[in-house]
Structure 1
Amino acid sequence: MDEATFSVSKGCFAFKGDSKENEFETTKYLKSDDARCAERWKLGTEVWNNIEISTNEINSSLQESMFLDLVKYIERSCLPKNAMTGRSEIPTAALMTGVNMPDHAALFVKLKEAVEESIAQSVVILQSKDCSNIKSMMRAIVNQLLGDTGMNTSRTSDAGDEDIASDDLYYMRKKSSTITMSMIVKWYNKVTKPHSHGGSPGKKRKIDDTCFARKPLVIMCQDLEAFPQLVLHDFIIMCSFHAATLPMVLVFGIATSWTDVSQRLLSHSAIVNLSVEKFHAPTASEHLALIIDKVLLTTEQPFKLSGKCLELIVDVFLCHDFSITSFLHALKFCALEHFREQPCSILCTKSLKEAESVISKFTKNDIRLLKSVDSFKRYVASHDKDKQTAISKDAGFKSEIKKCIHDLHVFHSFYFPALHCLHILTSSLPQYPLGKKIRELYHMCYKHDINNHEGFKQAFLLLGVSSRDQLVKHLNNCADTLESFTYEFDDCVDNDVHPNFASAKLHAFVENLEKMDENDPQPDNDEKDEEPENETLETVKYAYQLQERLRNRANKKRIRKMTRFEKIREEAISYLKSFFWQHLQRVQFMPFHEAFYFDSSAAVKRHLLAAPRLAIQTALSNPYQYLPVPSLEGMSYGVIPPNAPDICVAYKLHNECGNIINLYDWMSAFHVITTTNHGEGETNSEENKKVEIDEVTQARFIQAVSELQHLGFVKPTKKKTDHVQRLTWSHS
Structure 2
Amino acid sequence: MSTSSVSKGCFVFKPSSKKRKRAVGIGEYFVEGCAESEYGKERFSTCQRLWEKIKTDTELLQDELNKKMLDSLIDFIKKCTLNFQSGSEDWASLMRASEIPTAALVLGVNVPDHDMTFQSLSDVLQQSVTPFAVSVQAKECAALKNLMQKVLERLMGVGVSAEDDDDDDDSGIHVPQKVSCTISALCRWYKAITNKQHKFPGKTANYVSHSPPVVVIFKDFEAFDPRILQDFILICSRYIHELPLIFIFGIATSPSTIQHMLPHSVSSLLCIELFQSLSCTQHLATVIDKLILTSQFPFKLSAKDLHVLVSIFLYHDFSVRNFVKGLQLALLEHFYSQPLSVLCCEKGKALDYVQKFSHQDVEMVRHLPSFMRYVETKDPQEQIQLLSSDDHVKEVCQKFLKDLRKYHKNYYPILRCLYSLTSSLPKYPLGRQIRELYISCLEKNVWETNEYESAMQLLRLLAKDEIVAALRKCVDILKPSETKQMKSTLEHLEQYIVRFEQLDGMSIETLCGEEVISPGKELQKKTDLYHLQKTLLEMKGSRRTKKMSPFELLRNEALDFIDGLVRSHLTPPETQPLNEVCYYSSSGVLRRHLNATPRTSIQTALGHPFFYLKNESLKTDTGTVSSAAPDICIVYKLHLECGRLINLYDWLEAYATVTSAAEGKDPDSEDYGKVDELRHARFIQAVSELEFLGFVKSTKQKTDHVARLTWGGC
Counterpart of 2:68, as a letter, is S
Select which of 613, 623, 626 maps to 1:627: 613
Percent identity between the aligned chains? 35
Select which of 303, 306, 312 maps to 1:310: 306
Distance 1:33 1:240 in 2: 65
Is the 1:661–1:724 contact (alpha carbons within 8 Å) kept by the matching residues of 2?
yes
Select which of 453, 462, 474 maps to 1:466: 462
1:324 aligns with 2:320: yes
Match of 1:450 in 2: 446
> TM-score if structure 1 supplies the norm length?
0.83
Q: CA deviation at 1:170?
A: 1.7
Paired residue secondary structure (1:619): helix
Select which of 34, 39, 55 maps to 2:58: 55
Point out the more displaced range, 448-457 or 127-136.
448-457
Distance 2:96 2:460 in 1: 71
Q: CA deviation at 1:551?
A: 5.7
Match of 1:658 in 2: 643
Select which of 487, 497, 501 maps to 1:500: 487
Match of 1:703 in 2: 685
1:576-725 aligned at under 5 Å gives the runs 576-634=562-620, 636-638=622-624, 640-676=625-661, 684-687=666-669, 692-725=674-707
Distance 1:72 1:57 in 2: 21
1:429 aligns with 2:429: no
1:364 aligns with 2:359: yes
1:206-355 aligned at under 5 Å gives the runs 214-262=211-259, 264-351=260-347, 353-355=348-350
Counterpart of 1:696, as a letter, is L
Select which of 506, 513, 534 maps to 2:500: 513
Q: CA deviation at 1:350?
A: 2.9
Label 1:126 to 1:677 Cα distance change in 2 as closer, same or farther (>3 A): closer
Point out the more displaced range, 443-452 or 27-36.
27-36
Distance 1:214 1:431 in 2: 57
Is the 1:434–1:456 contact (alpha carbons within 8 Å) kept by the matching residues of 2?
yes
Q: CA deviation at 1:261?
A: 2.5
Distance 1:655 1:523 in 2: 79
1:410-459 CA deviation, whole Å, 9 max, x = no partner? 11110111111111111111111111111011111111212222222221
Distance 1:689 1:224 in 2: 63
Match of 1:171 in 2: 178
Paired residue secondary structure (1:93): strand
Label 1:514 to 1:194 Cα distance change in 2 as closer, same or farther (>3 A): farther
Distance 2:277 2:324 in 1: 19
Q: CA deviation at 1:54?
A: 1.9
Counterpart of 1:315, as a letter, is S
Counterpart of 2:62, as a letter, is N
In the alignment of these two chains, the number of paired residues is 654
Match of 1:183 in 2: 185
Is the 1:425–1:474 contact (alpha carbons within 8 Å) kept by the matching residues of 2?
yes
Counterpart of 1:214, as a letter, is S
Distance 2:297 2:271 in 1: 47
Counterpart of 1:63, as a letter, is N
Match of 2:36 in 1: 34
Distance 2:326 2:448 in 1: 33
1:179-229 CA deviation, whole Å, 9 max, x = no partner? 1111111111111127778xxxxxxxxxxxxx9972110011111111111
Q: CA deviation at 1:304?
A: 0.8
Distance 2:627 2:636 in 1: 14
Distance 1:430 1:86 in 2: 52
Unaligned runs of 5+ in 1: 1-8, 12-21, 157-165, 173-177, 198-210, 491-497, 527-542
Paired residue secondary structure (2:271): strand
Is the 1:464–1:570 contact (alpha carbons within 8 Å) kept by the matching residues of 2?
yes
Q: CA deviation at 1:293?
A: 1.0
Select which of 396, 399, 402 maps to 1:400: 396
Select which of 54, 67, 72 maps to 1:69: 72
Select which of 531, 555, 571 maps to 1:569: 555
Is the 2:417–2:477 contact (alpha carbons within 8 Å) kept by the matching residues of 1?
yes
Label 1:691 to 1:331 Cα distance change in 2 as closer, same or farther (>3 A): closer
Is the 2:197–2:210 contact (alpha carbons within 8 Å) kept by the matching residues of 1?
no
Paired residue secondary structure (2:306): helix
Paired residue secondary structure (2:613): coil
Distance 2:670 2:602 in 1: 31
> TM-score if structure 2 supplies the norm length?
0.85
Label 1:688 to 1:252 Cα distance change in 2 as closer, same or farther (>3 A): farther
Q: CA deviation at 1:515?
A: 3.6
Q: CA deviation at 1:728?
A: 1.1
Q: CA deviation at 1:564?
A: 3.1
Q: CA deviation at 1:155?
A: 10
Is the 1:301–1:350 contact (alpha carbons within 8 Å) kept by the matching residues of 2?
no
Label 1:82 to 1:329 Cα distance change in 2 as closer, same or farther (>3 A): closer
Q: CA deviation at 1:677?
A: 5.2
1:637-658 CA deviation, whole Å, 9 max, x = no partner? 42x4332111111111111111
Label 1:685 to 1:669 Cα distance change in 2 as closer, same or farther (>3 A): farther
1:361-413 CA deviation, whole Å, 9 max, x = no partner? 11122122222111111111222211110001211211121222221111111
Counterpart of 2:303, as a letter, is G
Is the 1:79–1:213 contact (alpha carbons within 8 Å) kept by the matching residues of 2?
no
Match of 1:14 in 2: none
Point out the more displaced range, 28-37 or 470-479.
28-37
Distance 2:682 2:435 in 1: 55
Distance 1:149 1:390 in 2: 77
Is the 1:676–1:688 contact (alpha carbons within 8 Å) kept by the matching residues of 2?
no
Q: CA deviation at 1:23?
A: 7.9
Label 1:318 to 1:170 Cα distance change in 2 as closer, same or farther (>3 A): same
Is the 1:120–1:215 contact (alpha carbons within 8 Å) kept by the matching residues of 2?
yes
Distance 1:418 1:620 in 2: 52
Paired residue secondary structure (2:620): helix
